[in-house]
Structures are given as structure tokens and as C-alpha cells.
Structure 1
Amino acid sequence: MFITQTVPRQREIIEVLLRNGWDYMRRLLTGGKADRPQLPTPAVLKNILVDLGPVYIKLGQLLSTRPDLLSGAYIDELSTLQDEVPPVPWSEVEIIIRKQLNKPLSEIFSTINPIPVAAGSIAQTHRATLANGREVALKVQRPGIDITVSRDIALIEGIADLVSRTDFGQIYEIKTIADEFCKALEDELDFTREAGFTDKLRSNLSQSKWFDPQKLVVAEIDWELTTPKLLVMEWLDGGPILSADLGNHKNGKDPTTERKEITSLLFRAFSQQLYIDGFFHADPHPGNIFYLKDGRVALLDCGMVGRLDPRTQQILIEMLLAIVDLDAQRCAQLTLQLSDVSQKVNLSRLEADYDRLLRKYFNLSLSQLNFSEVVYEIFQVARNNRIRLPSNMGLYAKTIANLEGLARSFNPELNFLDEIKPLITDLFRQQLFGDAPVRSLLRTALDLKSLSLQSPRQLELVLERVTSETLQWNLSLKGLDNLRRTADDAANRLSFSILVGSLIMGAAIVSSNAKTNQLSIISNVLFATASLLSIWLIISILRSGRLR
């Protein structure tokens, strides 16, 4: 029986599973036999997470970032999860704010709106005005949410321990995945981390050669008032971009032109984050991208971010080109470069799977290509071949999918490749020459000079060792132990065969010339010995299974 220190919560979970009909997890939690894991349908899984409450809704949102673990149907369903919950009464929120600031609120704020503008599973947001007249947003952690998260994390880790004992759990490293999710949930409780992410993103996007930084804004953090449970930042006056009322401000542009410019701005800003900065906003859904009243675009809620190292960035840039060229072989090679190199993968099968996948797009024009759908399917092929990709690949795929989905909803005339073609060219140029081509050229010249100076001496050393017979080669070949044992066995059997033959020939010679009883006895002994050795040799060959 699965027992944790939160038995009432366990009972509640079992009731939710029974009510929604997930028999596998019910058997697992009650100690029954559950060797063949079966996920519920996407809709049922979503209902289970909603019924279990805010923490599990957040878990579902995290799962929606892992197309390397779940198929597209699950990703699409979980991506619709919203953690909108009833707001906490202002009296409780005010206590949290007072404890975090250790000052009378009247000294810091001139006004605070007690009605939240948004309420989620972890926090809710209020609009306020500082004593100096500056408008700010207060993101306040829900009272007791840290206890709830700690309790549910214990349950998640306990379930992961059970699943990890099955073949399914070992193949997909469920324990490791659960640890990643639990760490992400715990990190969301520290608002100073989100504040740091917001500042870094704001700094990165403050300058660009791809777009006008003045048209994109990330809220400024008030670090003097920000604490682990209270995030204070600049108030941005606007609304979700899909409900934006374009053309009403004084820029003289018609809505159609402005939609195209905003779409291009978003693609260029996120391309810079993904392929240049290596630090990106990983949750660009419509509620997190605002259209401000002054015509600028704002990125909100920087709590979920992703990171890409330079090597991964280069691979992903090449993957972009491979997808555009529908190059299955190159896609397979790049996928393996992203994966754990210790894994054993059937490369021919992987290439064949990618070829079948990309054939669907052979007859489509480039403007019809849904890039995010292709990325999801590529990760699904990798999952089917049991290739484990880094978790940041899930965030990358989700970011691309959310961005493309948002852009197509905002601007139905979007041509994805028209947006990224000029960027791809620039990205490859930067990969080749860097931001400072002259510096890169000088560094290459120095490397060539060093090589030219060292090469004659190294060549002289090699020739000297060859002529003095001191050159040695250290080779390490795998699988030689089995070959050596096989050769030893063959040599032993050949030796026994020669010995048996010699005994038989010797016995025959002695027998033909036997004139005394002693010689006849020797002959019989030789024949008997030869017969026994022959029988032993035949049995050993039969037992080895290598008679043929």
C-alpha cells in the first residue's frame, strides 16, 4: 500500500482518480498490480489535474512544455490549462504584504486597489501607487501555498518512486523527471528568481539590430520592495494582444499594417532570445503578451524561462535549415547531437522515421509549412526511438509553438518563413564570423601562425621517433576479449583433435605389430583414451551450440 505522511490528501487523490476513471494509477496507489502503464486520454488527464487543484494545474502546465515525453494531443490539451482560482480576501493578502515589507503600508503606498487584477494558483496581482506617485503591480504569494506545494511535492515524489520500479519508469527515468518538476514548482515560490529573470530579459532586449527596442517593453523591477513572497514591478497599462484595439493611438498606421509590424517584432525579439542571447521567455501565450495604450508591446510573467548554450543554439539553427530543406538525414544527425551520446540508437530506423515524417510536407509550399507542428513531430519521433533529449528542448518547442499560434491568431496572413528567412541568413553569418568579424579573422590568423610554427618541430619529432624505432601506437579496440576467448577455445579444440588423432594412429601402429600381451594392453589403453577424449570433445562442441 502506498503510504505517505499526507494520507487524507492521498485518499482525496484516489477519489479523483476513481471519479475520472484512471484505473492504472488507482491500482498503483492501492498496491495492486500495475505493470503496464496506461495514460488516460488527454481530456481525462486535464480533468484530473483540474480536480486535484492549483499545484497539479501548475504541474500540468509544466508537462505541456515536454513534447519529448508526451504526444502532441496531450501537449495541446495541457496547454489550455489556466490556473485561475478565486482570489484570496484582501485582509489575508494585506497581512502577507505587511510581513514582507516590515513597514506601515501608508509609508510606502498612497493607494492599493484591494480588488486583484488577476488571481492564479501561486499568487494574485494588485494595482497600487507608490508614495512618490509611481504606479506599480504587486504580485503577492497566496497564504499557505508553500505548505500546499510541499505536501503535494511529497506525494508526487512518492508516486514517482513507485513508477520508477516498473520497466516504464526505468526506461523514461520517471524519478529524474519528477525531481525536475518538483524543483520547478519550488522555484516558483521564490519571487526574487522571477525578478532576476525579468531584469535579465529586460537588459537583453534593450538593444538589438533586428528590431526597435523602443517598441518592446519588459517591466522594471523595484528591488527595494521585492521579496521572496512579494514582487513589485512597473505597472504596464494595456491588455492581452489578441484583444488589442489597434489604430486608436496617434501613430497614423492602419490596423493591418500594424498587425504585420507587431508580428515581425515578436518573431525578431524571440529569435534574438533563442538563437543569440540563449535566454528566453518560455511562456509567450496571449495572456503574457500585452498591447499597451501607447502602442508598445510588453512581455509579462517571466517566471518560466529557458536557457540554450552556444552549441545547442548552433544545432537548432541548423535544424531550422534542415526542416526547411526537408532533409531527414540531417534531422536525424542533429537529433543525436542533442541527445545523450551514451544511448544506443538505430540510426537507419531514425532516418527512415524522419523521412516518412517529412514526406507529408513535400507537396506543401513553404508558406503552408507549420513549423511548430514539424518540431513537435520531430520530438515525437525521437521519443518513439527512445532518444532522451534535454528538458530545455521541451521549453524551446513550446515557445516556438506558442509564438507561432499567437502570431497566426493575431495576423491570419502570417507567412512564417517570410519572417524567419532573413534571420536565418544573419544567424549563419554570425555563426561563421561572430559579432566582430575582424576580431575572428585575427584570431584565426594567430591560430594559423601558431600551427605553422609548431608543425615543423612536431613533424621532426615524429620522423625522429620513426627512424629510432621509438614510435609506439596505443590502440584500444572494443570486443577483443570475446575474440580472444573464441580463438583460445578453437586452438584448444584443435590441439585435442591432433592429440586424439595421434593416439589413434599410435594405437593402430602398436596393435599391428603387437606380439606380446603387454603391447596389446598398451594398444587398448591408447584406443580407450582416444575414445574418451573424442567423446569429451564432441560433447563440448555440442554444448557450445556452435556445431554448425
Structure 2
Amino acid sequence: MIGLRRKVEYFRRYRHILSVLFKYGFGHVVEKLNVEYYIESGKKILKIKSKEGKEQKLKGAERLKLAFEELGPTFIKFGQILSTRPDLIPMDYIEQLKELQDKIEPIEFGEIEEILNLNYGEDYKKVFKKVEKEVLGSASIGQVHKALLNDGTEVVIKVKKPDTDHIVELDISILYNIAVIIEKKIPELAYYNPVKLVNEFSKSIKKEMDFTLEGKNNDIIRMNFKKFKNFKVPKIYWDYTNEDILVMEFVKGKKLYDVLDGNLENGEFLAKLGANIFLKQILEDGFFHADPHPGNIFLVGKDTIVFIDYGMVGTLDEEAQENMAEILEGIVLKDIVKILNAFKNFDTLPDDLNERALKSEMRELLEKYYNTSLKNINIGKLIYEMSNIVIKYKIYVPADFFLMGKTLMTIDGIGRALYPDFDMIEVAKPFVKKLLIRKLSPERVGKKMLKSIKNYDNFFEGFPINMGVLFEKLKKDKIGIEIKSKDVKEFNATIDKTINKLSTSIIIAAIIIGSSMLIQSRTGFSIHGYSILGISGFVIAGFFGMVLVIDTFKS
């Protein structure tokens, strides 16, 4: 019986989705899907609505936004994710979809009480002295209320709405089915890999539905900023938090939304503070709040900023951070080669890369910005547009890099609203300088060397097996190879030279790593705080390195 009910529900929802797509002028896509069993009601709606409404006269991007809004929570979230992916959809669609607001009518307080009782036993009042009926916020997944713990502590509780897991699971299964059909039947859309996109979205929204993960994200950023002044992250009350309910400290402040138009006396200070907070998250910590709209930012007193809602976060590894620093430096220096090299570091270049065309397109974009002052450049938007050009040439850029671009774009916009002369690039310069120094530090060089040594180790470890496989294939295919004695001697000599150079390189790398450790340990005899042995190691490594380079050029 449950299986039958689920099928009926599935078909009904599928029909509704297709009907809405018809209504907003995407019938040509639906018809290509060739799912006649679900389309019947959709065609009827199309005939009625097309006569009545003006929906189909709007641009495609506007129509898609309206369709997602009508289809509800899952599709609103899907649209928000798409708005961070210029590698998948055009910029006019991104501009529309990023306006999607996850604001849903609140459910009755009685339903909230049922969920509280379900999670805390028969009577939730054993935990909370009071839960206010007034709704502080209502989104697709959760609803927020103010409450008092039994010890009198003011808290905020975020409660997952009933049936959310079921509704999202149903919509994702339908989206997955549509994605599979698109890959099979619509080649021009299959290029965007819709199945992979739906799988990524599924992982993302399921993370947001687990409130313990949001709490952990909150605590990571709280720990990263424990010594930072004028920025606060709310405390999570873990004794009362689970997958369905998040209990956190109540923030006594004003939403940034409410003060943006207030001509704040310290607008410049707040703009720079907000930028410093996010640049630290992105370029130092590599773990950042990815949804910093003004509704998620509070002003406490005159000089303290508080962020809430850590459901969506992004991550950047050390290499991505350093690439970002190179890009920012390239923008300041107007160095297109430096910018392109940083993007190329993300991926192996395609064989058919048209580098001249890529440079030309990038130069054309940057010239638009170079005719104005650096402070007038929205750095997030520029990075977004540069990334969009790079992916056209099949150079992969990580999804979180786009998320970072969107985040910087938002922070830049908020900064300018607080202080019209706000200059994000000026605020970013110290972070960029620090990253570029880190890139050349003995510790970072040592790590890279160690990684190279491991790669060499893996290569030599697998070399006998790989050679055995190769000779086995040669034997089976009966491929004959004639080698003369002279050739063998020359070949052996070349191999000997190569192995000698490789051995020398490994020894040099080992000396550099050891010297780096000695310098960092600051033990034994030293000059200005640097180990004499460590410095000697670098000198020896430098000498052998020069010999190796000269020998390589000679050969």
C-alpha cells in the first residue's frame, strides 16, 4: 500500500513540475523529454495559461526564476546552487536565479510543538521554559523561534519542518529522472552533465537538512575567529541540538538589512571589518560562510558584526588560495599572463587549447575594468567573469571557487552600501602579500618537494610491474624490436645520466626539507634566530642545484 501511495504521489508531483515548465514557456524542452505519460495535464494547462498570462513574453531567465519559485523549496534551493555555477548556465540566468529568496509561509506553532515533543520527550517544556509563538524566520527547510532554556538563557531554535526530508527526496528523484532523460535525448543540454549536477545538488541540500552539520560549520568558524576583535559567532548548545533542531545563542542586535540605508557614522569601519572577516575566511582559513546576504548579518552595538546561518559553506585548499592570490596580484599589476597561469594551475590543460584566443578574450574583459579606478572594480564579479571565460576553453575551475566569487561579489556590494568609497582590493592586499610569502616559504617549498618525492617513489615502486605488463603485451602482439649494440650502449649511458640527475634531485630535496625543519625548530647555534645548520643546508642545496641546472643545459 505504501509503495502504491508513493507512486501516485510521484506521478502527481511529476505532472505538476512539467505543467509549471509548460506554463512558463519551457514546453519545447518538456516535449523533447518525450514523457507522454506525465505531459497530458501539462498541455491542457499550457493552452489555458498561454491565453491568460504574460509569463511567456518574459525573457527565458526571468521565466525560469518564476517557475522555480512556483515549484517550491527544493527548486528554490536548486536555483540558488545554479546561480553559483557560471560554468553551467549563462550570466543572465545567474543574475535572475541569485535573486531567489528562500522565504516560505510559516507553519502553525502547533506543528512546531509536535516536533519539539517528538525530539525532547513527551513535554519539551522540561528543556525550554518558554518558546515564543512569533516566527523570527521561515525558509524551505526550517522555521526559527526565540526561546528560553530552563536556566533562563535566551536562545534561538531552528526547527526542521515536517515532511521536509520526504518532499526533498521526492523532488530529487524526479530531477534525477529528468536529468537522465536529458542526457539521452537532448544532446545540446547533455553537454552540461545534468546527472552530475543533480547528484551534487542532492549532496548539498542533504547537508543543509542536517542541522548538526550546520552547528559544526558554525563552531569551525567560531574557533578560527576566537582571537578576532569585533566579530562574533553564536554559541551552539549541543546538549539540545540534533539533525532536526538547532539551538544557538540569541543575538541581541539589528539585522544589517535594517541599517544599510541609515547613513552609519562608522560605515567605512564596518565595510572594512566585514571584508577582513571574509578575506580571512577565504585566504587564510580556507573555510568560508557562503551565504552572506544582509539578512544573515547582525550589527551588535556600533562596532561588532555577527554572522548566522552556516548551512552553506565553501572550502579552498592551500593551492587554490595561492592561485587566488596570484589572480588578485595579476589584476593589480594588469598582468594577464599571471592571471591565466593561476587559472591553469587548477587543471591539466586540454590538448586543443587555443591560448591566443583565450588571452585575447581575457584582455578584452580586463580592458573594460582597467579604464576605471581599482576601487571601482567589484572583485567578486570580475573573478566570476574571468572564471566563465576560462571554462569556455575547457580549463576546470573548482565549484567552490565560483562560490567564493559569489561571496566576494555580495560582500563587495554590502561594503559599498555601507561606504560608497569602499575598496576591496586595498583591503585584500595584506592577505595577498602574506599568501605570496607563504608560497615561497621553506615549509611550503618543503611540502611540495616531499610531494614530488612521494610521486617519484610511487613511480619507481610501480615501474617493474608496468614494464612487465608492457613486455607481456609486446610478446602477445608479436612486436619485434631490433636494437644494435651501439644503440644499447648509448641508451644505457642516457639512463645512467638520468638516474644520477634524479638521485641528485632527491638528495637536494631532502637537504631542503631537513634545512627547513632545522630553521623552523630554532634549536642549536643560530644567526638572527635562524639555525646555522639549516642555513648551511640551503647553501649546499643551492650549490648542487646550480650544478644540476648547468649540467642539464649542457646536455
TM-score range normalised by the length of the shorter chain: 0.7 to 0.9
Q: Distance in 1 between matches of 2:419 and 2:94?
A: 23
Give the letter aligned to residue 67 of structure 2.
I
Q: Distance in 1 between matches of 2:260 and 2:343?
A: 42
Q: Distance in 2 between matches of 1:340 and 1:49?
A: 36
Q: Distance in 1 between matches of 2:136 and 2:17?
A: 31
CA deviation map 1:88-133 (0-9, x unaligned) = 1111111111112226222211111012110000000000011111
Pairwise mapping of residues 485-524 of structure 1 onto structure 2 (< 5 A)? none
Please report how far the alpha carbon of residue 59 of structure 1 lies from its aligned counterpart in structure 2 after TM superposition.
0.9
Q: Distance in 2 between matches of 1:73 and 1:447?
A: 56
% of aligned pairs identical? 30
Q: Does 1:28 align with 2:27?
A: no
Are the equivalent residues in 1 in contact too, given 2:267–2:419 (CA < 8 A)? yes
Are the equivalent residues in 1 in contact too, given 2:358–2:393 (CA < 8 A)? yes
Q: Distance in 1 between matches of 2:302 and 2:284?
A: 28
| Residue aligning to 1:392 | 400
| Residue aligning to 1:7 | 11
| Residue aligning to 1:224 | 239
Range 213-222 or range 422-431, more displaced: 422-431
Range 274-283 or range 19-28, more displaced: 19-28
Q: Distance in 2 between matches of 1:426 and 1:141?
A: 42
Range 22-31 or range 51-60, more displaced: 22-31
Q: Residues 93, 348 of structure 1: CA spacing in aligned structure 2 closer, same or farther, 3 A cutoff?
A: same
Are the equivalent residues in 2 in contact too, given 1:69–1:383 (CA < 8 A)? no
Give 3-state SS (helix, strand or coil) of 2:80's partner: helix
Q: Does 1:428 align with 2:436?
A: yes
Give the letter aligned to residue 200 of structure 1.
I
> Which of these residues, 189, 199, 205, is aligned with residue 225 of structure 2?
205
> Which of these residues, 197, 201, 217, is aligned with residue 177 of structure 1?
197
Give the letter aligned to residue 267 of structure 2.
R
Q: Residues 319, 245 of structure 1: CA spacing in aligned structure 2 closer, same or farther, 3 A cutoff?
A: closer
Structure with the largest fraction of helix: 2
Q: Distance in 1 between matches of 2:335 and 2:279?
A: 22
Q: Residues 214, 435 of structure 1: CA spacing in aligned structure 2 closer, same or farther, 3 A cutoff?
A: farther
Give the letter aligned to residue 381 of structure 2.
E
Q: Residues 119, 405 of structure 1: CA spacing in aligned structure 2 closer, same or farther, 3 A cutoff?
A: same
Q: Residues 127, 439 of structure 1: CA spacing in aligned structure 2 closer, same or farther, 3 A cutoff?
A: farther
Q: Does 1:318 align with 2:326?
A: yes
Q: Does 1:348 align with 2:367?
A: no
Are the equivalent residues in 2 in contact too, given 1:110–1:133 (CA < 8 A)? yes
Q: Distance in 2 between matches of 1:400 and 1:65?
A: 12
Q: Distance in 2 between matches of 1:356 and 1:436?
A: 35
CA deviation map 1:303-329 (0-9, x unaligned) = 100011101110111011112222222
CA deviation map 1:414-458 (0-9, x unaligned) = 1223322333333333433489999778169649739948998xx
CA deviation map 1:439-497 (0-9, x unaligned) = 778169649739948998xx99xx9xxxxxxxxx9xxxxxxxxxxxxxxxxxxxxxxxx
Are the equivalent residues in 2 in contact too, given 1:198–1:218 (CA < 8 A)? yes
Please report how far the alpha carbon of residue 169 of structure 1 lies from its aligned counterpart in structure 2 after TM superposition.
4.5
Q: Residues 179, 436 of structure 1: CA spacing in aligned structure 2 closer, same or farther, 3 A cutoff?
A: closer
| Residue aligning to 2:116 | 97
Give the letter aligned to residue 88 of structure 1.
I
Q: Which has the larger radius of gyration?
A: 1
CA deviation map 1:155-182 (0-9, x unaligned) = 1111111222243355332221221011
Give 3-state SS (helix, strand or coil) of 1:86's partner: coil
Q: Residues 311, 4 of structure 1: CA spacing in aligned structure 2 closer, same or farther, 3 A cutoff?
A: farther
Q: Distance in 2 between matches of 1:436 and 1:175?
A: 38
| Residue aligning to 1:270 | 278
| Residue aligning to 2:264 | 255
Are the equivalent residues in 2 in contact too, given 1:242–1:409 (CA < 8 A)? no
Q: Distance in 2 between matches of 1:355 and 1:206?
A: 42
RMSD: 3.2
Give 3-state SS (helix, strand or coil) of 1:339's partner: coil
Please report how far the alpha carbon of residue 360 of structure 1 lies from its aligned counterpart in structure 2 after TM superposition.
1.5
Q: Distance in 2 between matches of 1:53 and 1:123?
A: 14
Please report how far the alpha carbon of residue 29 of structure 1 lies from its aligned counterpart in structure 2 after TM superposition.
3.6
Pairwise mapping of residues 93-492 of structure 1 onto structure 2 (< 5 A)? 93-102=112-121, 104-165=123-184, 166-207=186-227, 213-244=228-259, 255-256=264-265, 258-293=266-301, 295-341=303-349, 344-433=352-441, 442=519, 446=534, 449=537, 452=540
Range 425-434 or range 331-340, more displaced: 425-434
The TM-score with structure 2 as length reference comes to 0.73
Q: Distance in 1 between matches of 2:418 and 2:517?
A: 41
Q: Residues 246, 202 of structure 1: CA spacing in aligned structure 2 closer, same or farther, 3 A cutoff?
A: farther
Q: Distance in 1 between matches of 2:346 and 2:542?
A: 35
Please report how far the alpha carbon of residue 412 of structure 1 lies from its aligned counterpart in structure 2 after TM superposition.
1.7
Structure number with the bigger relative contact order (C-alpha 8 A, sep ≥ 6) is 1
Give the letter aligned to residue 375 of structure 1.
I
Q: Residues 106, 385 of structure 1: CA spacing in aligned structure 2 closer, same or farther, 3 A cutoff?
A: same
Q: Residues 53, 245 of structure 1: CA spacing in aligned structure 2 closer, same or farther, 3 A cutoff?
A: closer
Give 3-state SS (helix, strand or coil) of 2:140's partner: coil
Are the equivalent residues in 2 in contact too, given 1:343–1:387 (CA < 8 A)? no
Q: Distance in 2 between matches of 1:392 and 1:344?
A: 26
Give the letter aligned to residue 17 of structure 1.
L
The TM-score with structure 1 as length reference comes to 0.74
Are the equivalent residues in 2 in contact too, given 1:315–1:334 (CA < 8 A)? yes
Q: Residues 170, 347 of structure 1: CA spacing in aligned structure 2 closer, same or farther, 3 A cutoff?
A: farther
Q: Distance in 2 between matches of 1:233 and 1:29?
A: 46
Are the equivalent residues in 2 in contact too, given 1:14–1:29 (CA < 8 A)? no
Corresponding residue pairs, total: 441
| Residue aligning to 1:57 | 76
Give 3-state SS (helix, strand or coil) of 2:345's partner: helix
| Residue aligning to 2:55 | none
